[in-house]
Amino acid sequence: MSGLDAKANMDIDVGALGKVAVLMGGRSAEREVSLMSGGGVLAALRARGVDAHAFDPAERDLSALKAEGFARCFIALHGRYGEDGTVQGALELLDIPYTGPGVMASSIAMDKIMTKRIWRFEGLPTPDWRLVASAEETSQALAVLGAPMIVKPAREGSTIGLTKVMSVEECAQAYALASQYDPEVLCEQFIDGDETTCPVLEGAGQVQAGRAQALPVIRIVAPEGNYDYQNKYFTDTTQYHCPSGLPQAEEHEIQRLVEKAFRTLGCRGWARADIMIRASDRQPFLLEINTSPGMTSHSLVPMAARASGISYEDLCLRILASAALDGGAGRP
């Protein structure tokens, strides 16, 4: 379960992929990172002979995709209007296959509260939480969940708007910051332990087609345990361990959980789940799942793929080849 067969790309007919739009930029708070992801993907696909072109939905109307004959889209957008089901719905109407999960799965995964409700219903471990609508309710959540507590927008990514609250005095400011990005604010129990992430990738072509499989787990060691936006994308001080160095049984359990979390939300194509391992008893907890993960030089899916013998270029090609519509059309 440690990786996918790198020979799967041999079954991909690049010519059959047609004219490809790499959607990047967009209107979300993660625009800057999306442009970096999209630039990397664009260069990788062109290196593999794909007729790929940059397309920024913030600057051009999506209807141009149909008018200009694009056959499929690689979604390198992050956050709102990119991985929340909105772009996916537009591409469904345009009848243009796209990478990553479909409309419903993307929408649910973007909403951390809905994701946690489903995971909890399905018996998957996720930290306890409260949905709050005021600074007062944030203070009440702290009394229940205990300190430290994580306060964050319900529908943002890349730790944008997130605060680690240590006391009641910090609750009002934490709520004010999170509510700038989303009217729904999530207070979450803090899990003290190892921070990890694990990508899931479906097969492409004739090898393992349609089968979602976890890649190697990455263990993250951030400065002072603060894996924030700056330490994710713009510094070199965060350490990434892949192989993770975790006991084999723990790594396999994380991979099992991530595959089940992926299936439970109805995901397809690819995604990446974030997991904390509680230090006291080594219990893993699912935090969230990203349906359009970063593909920058600091990104984690390419790192796990390399550990499985899959180059960045081949990873991009495989993801592109898995592009589909919710009805299942679009596979090579």
Instruction: Please provide the average confidence, as pLDDT, over all residues in the chain.
Output: 90
Which range is least confidently modeled, 1-5, 187-191, 252-256, 327-331? 1-5
37 given a catalytic annotation: no
pLDDT grade, residue 228 (50/70/90)?
low
The reply to whether 232 and 99 lie within a common domain is: yes
Q: Per the domain annotation, does 1 fall within a domain?
A: no
Domain that holds residue 142: 129-189
The reply to whether 139 and 113 lie within a common domain is: no
Angle between helix 248-264 and helix 112-121 axes, rounded to 10 deg: 110
The reply to whether 269 and 286 lie within a common domain is: yes
For 125, counting Cβ atoms within 10 Å of its Cβ (0-12 exposed, 13-18 middle, 19+ buried), the class is: middle
pLDDT of 205 over the 50 cut: no
5 given a catalytic annotation: no
Of 189, 214, 235, the residue that ends a domain is: 189
The reply to whether 13 and 116 lie within a common domain is: yes
The reply to whether 239 and 113 lie within a common domain is: yes
Of 156, 188, 202, 274, which residue is the catalytic one? 274
Tokens (6 digits) for 326: 């919710």
The reply to whether 210 and 304 lie within a common domain is: yes
Of 79, 102, 294, 330, which residue is the catalytic one? 294
229 given a catalytic annotation: no
The reply to whether 163 and 67 lie within a common domain is: no
Q: Per the domain annotation, does 151 fall within a domain?
A: yes
pLDDT in tens, 120-135: 999 999 999 999 999 9
290 given a catalytic annotation: yes
Of 233, 292, 299, 308, which residue is the catalytic one? 233
Q: Per the domain annotation, does 176 fall within a domain?
A: yes
Of 30, 83, 170, 188, which residue is the catalytic one? 30
Count of domains for the chain: 2
For the chain, percent of residues with pLDDT exceeding 90: 81
pLDDT grade, residue 302 (50/70/90)?
very high
251 given a catalytic annotation: no
**Cα-based distances in Å from 331 to 24, 293, 323, 328:** 22, 21, 6, 7
Closest CA to 43 of 271, 272, 296, 298: 296
The reply to whether 100 and 171 lie within a common domain is: no
The reply to whether 151 and 110 lie within a common domain is: no
The reply to whether 149 and 116 lie within a common domain is: no
Of 182, 253, 259, 288, which residue is the catalytic one? 288
pLDDT in tens, 233-259: 556 778 999 999 999 999 999 999 999
Contact 238, 222 (CB under 8 A): yes
In CATH, what number is assigned to the domain containing residue 284?
A: 3.30.470.20
pLDDT grade, residue 269 (50/70/90)?
very high
60 given a catalytic annotation: no
